[in-house]
Amino acid sequence: MKICCLVKEVPDAAVQKRIDSNTKRLDRSGEKNLNPFDTHGIEAAMQIREGGNAQVDEIVAVTMGPESAVRALHKAVALGADRSVHLTDEALAGSDVCATGYALAKVLESEQPDLVLLGQQSDDGECYTIGAVVADHLKMPSLTQVIKIDVADNKLTCERQAEYGYDTVEVELPAVISVGDAINEPRYPSLKAIMGAKKKPLDTHATGDVGIEADHVGEDGSKTQVLAINPPPTKEPGEIIEDEDTNETVEKIVAWLDERKLL
């Protein structure tokens, strides 16, 4: 079985994210990191490999993004992927969900995976949808927000929470699964794995290499347009208390509750 893990490079959690008002895109300057939600996808792949119910021949990390995104691939490899694939091309810049899903499906098609895993969301875009877009292009069944995967007989038994409680769903392979962050506790990479990551095979593709039609991607190929960016309605900022002396803090809380007749 071959597992492809979709990963993304995102601004580091500590970076104050903002939209560039000229390009109307996320300002991607500053420190970057592997999308933390994707580390759960890689860990899920590792656990399937180590679980013994399926033979995993290869785990491949796949990303689409600018040159700098190789760092996310190196991190993915340090966490357990055997090699990685980088789709990078100027033509892809400004792709929306529709165009990104199409492009990722094309690069995945060239890998013919039995299972595609990805995180429940990207830390920056927060779209929750890429897995399901990719799946339909690949003509594979899919499920998102999965918090438990059991593998047996070329089938997955998955659990996830939906509108009415927990669903248990059987999914035939090949399939695309986005995993929730409760599925596992990602391991820390060993120093050796971090050092060795840059030596693992990395294939770089441009759009033409994987049959992506240029007019389907990038800003021109996108089906949505950002027309305006506005600040949210202003709200009175709440009062903030730093807890230094807890007895004092608690007194203040009780006074606050009292004032509002909540006790």
Ligand X SMILES: Cc1cc2nc3c(=O)[nH]c(=O)nc-3n(C[C@H](O)[C@H](O)[C@H](O)COP(=O)(O)OP(=O)(O)OC[C@H]3O[C@@H](n4cnc5c(N)ncnc54)[C@H](O)[C@@H]3O)c2cc1C
User: Minimal distance in Å, beta carbon 35 to other proteins?
Assistant: 15
Q: Is 148 exposed, middle or buried (0-12, 13-18, 19+ CB in 10 A)?
A: middle
> In this structure, how many other beta carbons lie within 10 angstroms of the beta carbon of residue 178?
28
Q: Are 31 and 16 in contact (CB under 8 A)?
A: no
Which helix (DSSP H) or strand (DSSP E) does residue 40 occupy? helix 36-51
Work out what residue 57 binds among ligand X, other proteins, none; the CB cut-off runs from 5 to 8 Å by kind. Answer: none
100 interacts with ligand X by CB under 6 A: no
CB atoms within 10 A of CB 40: 26
Pick one of ligand X, other proteins, none as the site partner of residue 199 (Cβ within 5 to 8 A by kind): none
Give 27 or 82: the residue with its C-beta nearer to other proteins.
27
Query: Which of ligand X, other proteins, none does residue 195 bind (CB under 5 to 8 Å by kind)?
Result: none
- Report yes or no: 140 and 117 within 8 Å, Cβ to Cβ: no
The distance of closest approach from Cβ of residue 178 to other proteins in the complex, given in angstroms and rounded to an integer, is: 9
Say if CB 11 and CB 124 are below 8 A apart: yes
Site for other proteins in 63-122 (CB under 8 A): 96-98, 101-102, 105
Please, which residue, 147 or 193, has the CB nearer to other proteins?
Answer: 147
Of the pair 70, 134, the CB lying nearest other proteins is at: 134
204 and 81 in contact (C-beta within 8 Å)? no
Nearer to ligand X, 162 or 214 (CB): 162
8 A C-beta contact, residue 104 and residue 95: no
Residues 119-178 that bind ligand X (CB under 6 A): 120-121, 128, 145
Query: Would you tell me which residues interact with ligand X (CB under 6 A)?
Result: 120-121, 128, 145
